Amino acid sequence: MSQLPLRSLVVLALFASASAWAKPPAPAAFCAKYPTAPTCVGTVPACTYCHVAAPQRNVYGTALETWLSPGATRPLSDGDFTSALPAALTAVEGLDSDGDAVTDLTEIQRGTLPGDPNSFPTDIPCAGGVNPEYKVCQYDLKYVYRKLLLDFCGFSPTYGMIKTFQALATDDLKRTFLDQELDRCLGTDFWRGKNGTLWKLAHPKIRPVGSLKAGVEDQGQIPLADYYDDYALFTWAHTDDHDVRSVLTADFFVARSGSNPTVYTPVTTKSTQRIDQAHRAGNMTSAWTLTYFVMFTALPRNAASQMYRAYLGLDIAKQEGLYSVATEPRDYDAKGVQAPACAACHATLDPLSYPYRNYNGLSGGQNLWNTYQPNRLETFFANQGATLAMTPESGVIFNQPVTSLMQWAQVAANSDAFLRATATDYWKLLMGHAPTAEENAEFVALWQALKTTHNYRVKPMLHQLIRTEAYGAP
Ligand SMILES: [Ca+2]
Ligand SMILES: [Ca+2]
């Protein structure tokens, strides 16, 4: 080997290079078209990009070949090859030559091999192709029909129903049928009736306590407030063509009547509610919320943190949703919240709580319970420290100053956090788990569309949800 002249080595190297590529200009022409492809950055594609062993092509090379000056006499000259290659590359960009569920162009851009089904980007849902046994990553209309009826109507379709469904001539007809079935189910008591699915969705937000239930229906031993009103507003806001933000912003109540169908109707007054219209903020100011979460406290941190957690998905106790206000916490009620272990959370929580300062739980005479009381702290908590009365009604949520609880509710209801939390509830309900990393793209599209496409209506969002791969692939 050492006896070989340098010239022979160069010839050998050139020959090896030429034989590896059926066409020596191929790598350069490829990289001229895709200069930012990872395989072209500081290197050129290996021969195996298009070939099993040159000149035998792999599936990607074969796909290219059919678009390379079709009809022209073979072999092409290097010049003809080079001028024909860009168009052929373009022609196959949308194909998935190796069947790994990722297009050739995406594979080129992402640096995986378009001719090797075992090489694919790992962060693309369903990349790697189809699992034939479970049809993973294949949206399955029949599967959706079964699941939809079970999830939204509460029963499985009969054999006859499945047969009728399968007999629909096209996938479009099946999709239309599924949309109709969804609408039908959303009107049933299984979905919207007393103790139905939507009520269950509301349980962790309302946190009912049977012994404290007031009202003619299911009254407890110590009847303090009727939380069925909270369920009624929640269900109204989440159904039909209603704005889901109403659950936080409504200045009205909702009455429930009948069954199959259960009917929810907005009303301006209700015997079980005491808050005056000018100070209402949906379920944030319901008799039950004020009774149970404000109760006897001066500064209702518990009410503010529960609303933040229940409707915005942010649990301050878990360090979620912290937007510290620089001058806080001021500790008006002398609870020691300026201690280092507390200050981090209370710099967010306390200014969230101030707008609740005049919302009365169970202080004073019973006729004053669950009402808005100007000077509530001064009236009922005069003996609880000198600075308590200095507690402002203005607060801060998500770094935005607000002057009232109604403004707090507006900022909250218009936030991305509210959209995400609302969509997350349904995702968990219908998928059985919070969105996974693989499902994230579909999940983000869903909660963003709740605002941009669906104008804060849950119903069209659910129609979008049943079309996601996360919902429809077994
Ligand atoms: Ca592919
Ligand atoms: Ca591949």
- Cα–Cα distances (Å) from 426 to 20, 141, 153, in that order, read 55, 20, 15
Q: Which of 131-135, 188-192, 202-206, 437-441 has the lowest mean pLDDT?
A: 131-135
Angle between helix 416-431 and 197-206 (nearest 10): 130
Task: Please state the rounded mean pLDDT for residues 411-437.
Answer: 97
Q: Does the pLDDT value for residue 22 go beyond 80?
A: no
d(CA 90, CA 160): 48
> Which pLDDT band holds residue 11 (cuts at 50, 70, 90)?
very low
Same domain, 285 and 408: yes
Which one of 385, 413, 441 terminates a domain? 413
Residue ending a domain, choose from 62, 95, 128? 95
Over the stretch 309-353, which tens digit does the pLDDT of each residue have? Answer: 999 999 999 999 999 999 999 999 999 999 988 898 999 999 999
Which ligand is closest in space to the CA of residue 111? 2
User: Do 202 and 84 fall into the same domain?
Assistant: no
Residue 15's pLDDT band (cuts 50, 70, 90):
very low
Q: Which residues of 76-88 are buried (b: 16+ CB within 10 A; e: fewer)?
A: beeeebbebbeeb
129 CA → ligand 2 middle, Å: 10
Whether 258 and 399 map to the same domain: the answer is yes
pLDDT band at 10 (very low <50, low <70, confident <90, very high): very low
Print the domain residue range for 223. Answer: 197-413
Q: What was the pLDDT predicted at 397?
A: 98
Residue 162 belongs to a domain: no
pLDDT of residue 137 exceeding 80: no
Distance, CA of 102 to CA of 127 (rounded, Å): 6
pLDDT for 130: 55
Question: How far away, in angstroms, is 90 Cα from ligand 2 center?
Answer: 17
- Rounded to a whole number, what is the distance in angstroms from the first to the last CA of the chain? 61
Ligand closest to 97 (CA) is 1
DSSP string, 228-296: HHHHHHHHHHTSTT--TTHHHH-SSEEEEE-SSS-EEEEES--TT----GGG-BTBTTSHHHIIIIITT
For the segment 217-240, the average pLDDT, to the nearest whole number, is 98
Distance 9 CA to ligand 2 centre (A): 35
94 CA distance to ligand 1 middle (Å): 10
Question: From the CA of 127, how far away is ligand 2's center (Å)?
Answer: 9
Neighbours of ion ligand 2 (CB under 5 A): 98, 100, 113, 119-120
Query: Is the pLDDT reported for residue 7 higher than 90?
Result: no
Flag whether pLDDT at 9 surpasses 90.
Answer: no
Q: Is the pLDDT of residue 19 over 50?
A: no
Q: Give, as residue ranges, everything with CB less than 5 Å from ion ligand 1.
A: 96, 98, 100, 102
pLDDT digits 0-9 by tens, 304-313: 999 999 999 9
Does residue 120 form part of some domain?
Answer: no
**At residue 242, what is the residue type?**
H
What pLDDT shows up at residue 176?
97
Number of domains in the chain: 2
pLDDT in tens, 362-381: 999 999 999 999 999 999 99
Residue range 377-405, pLDDT digits in tens: 999 999 988 899 999 999 999 999 999 99
Confidence of residue 4 (pLDDT cuts 50, 70, 90): very low
* Statement to judge: residues 67 and 210 lie in one domain: no
Q: 52, 77, 95 — which closes off a domain?
A: 95
Q: How far is the CA of 87 from the centre of ligand 1 (A)?
A: 19
**77-81, 169-173, 238-242, 268-272 — which is least confidently predicted?**
77-81
Q: Do 81 and 74 touch, CB atoms closer than 8 A?
A: no
Between the alpha carbon of residue 361 and those of residues 272, 274, 307, the distances in Å are: 14, 11, 15
Nearest ligand to the CA atom of 116: 2
Is the separation of the CB atoms in 238 and 426 below 8 Å? no
In angstroms, the CA 296 to CA 224 distance is 13
Helix (H) and strand (E) counts in the chain: 21, 6
More confident of the two residues 22 and 176: 176
Q: What is the pLDDT of residue 2?
A: 44
Query: Which ligand is nearest to the Cα of residue 121, counting in written order?
Result: 2
How far apart, in whole angstroms, are the C-alpha atoms of residue 2 and residue 139?
63
Distance 55 CA to ligand 2 centre (A): 20
pLDDT in tens, 56-110: 899 999 999 999 998 888 888 889 999 999 999 999 999 999 988 889 999 999 9
The pLDDT value given to residue 372: 98
465 domain residue, yes or no: no
| Ligand 1 center from residue 236 Cα (angstroms) | 47
pLDDT tier for residue 252 given thresholds of 50, 70 and 90: very high
Mean pLDDT of 256-261: 96
Average pLDDT over residues 144-150: 97
Residues 363 and 240 in one domain: yes
Residue 155 is predicted with a pLDDT of 96
Residue 473 lies in a domain: no
pLDDT at 55: 82
The answer to whether residue 141 sits within a structural domain is: no
Q: What percent of the chain has pLDDT over 70?
A: 93
Band (24; pLDDT cuts 50, 70, 90): confident
User: What pLDDT is stored for residue 133 in this prediction?
Assistant: 40
Cα–Cα distance between 282 and 218 in angstroms, integer? 23
Q: How far is the CA of 83 from the centre of ligand 2 (A)?
A: 26
| Residues 90, 201 share a domain | no
CA–centroid distance, residue 44 to ligand 2 (Å): 18
Evaluate if residue 23 carries a pLDDT over 50.
Answer: yes
Look over the chain and give the mean of its residue pLDDT values, rounded to a whole number. Answer: 92
SS (H, E, C) 406-463: HHHHHHHHCCHHHHHHHHHHHHHHHHCCCCCCCCHHHHHHHHHHHHHCCCCCHHHHHH
Read off the pLDDT band of 18 (50, 70, 90). very low
In the chain, the amino acid numbered 78 is: D
Residues 91 and 202 in one domain: no
State residue 139's pLDDT score.
86
- DSSP lists the bridge partners of residue 294 as none
Query: Pick from 429, 204, 196: which is nearest to 310 by CA?
Result: 204
Kindly report, residue by residue over 409-418, the tens digit of the pLDDT.
999 999 999 9
Answer yes or no: do 206 and 79 share one domain. no
Same domain, 257 and 397: yes
Q: Kindly state the average pLDDT of the residues 262-282.
A: 98
Residue 111 belongs to a domain: no
Contact 96, 77 (CB under 8 A): no
Domain membership of residue 208 (yes or no) is: yes
Give Cα separations from 206 to 51, 228, 291 (angstroms): 64, 9, 11
This prediction's pTM: 0.74
Assign 191 a pLDDT band (cuts: 50, 70, 90): very high
| 401 and 260 part of one domain | yes
Please say if the pLDDT value at position 126 is more than 80: no
Q: Bigger pLDDT: 36 or 42?
A: 36
Rg, C-alpha atoms of the chain: 32
> What CA–CA distance (Å, rounded) separates 250 from 409?
9
Higher pLDDT, 16 or 154: 154
Q: Is residue 33 part of a domain?
A: yes
The reply to whether 54 and 203 lie within a common domain is no
**Which one, of 150, 152, 143, lies nearest residue 174 by Cα?**
143
Q: How far is the CA of 110 from the centre of ligand 1 (A)?
A: 11
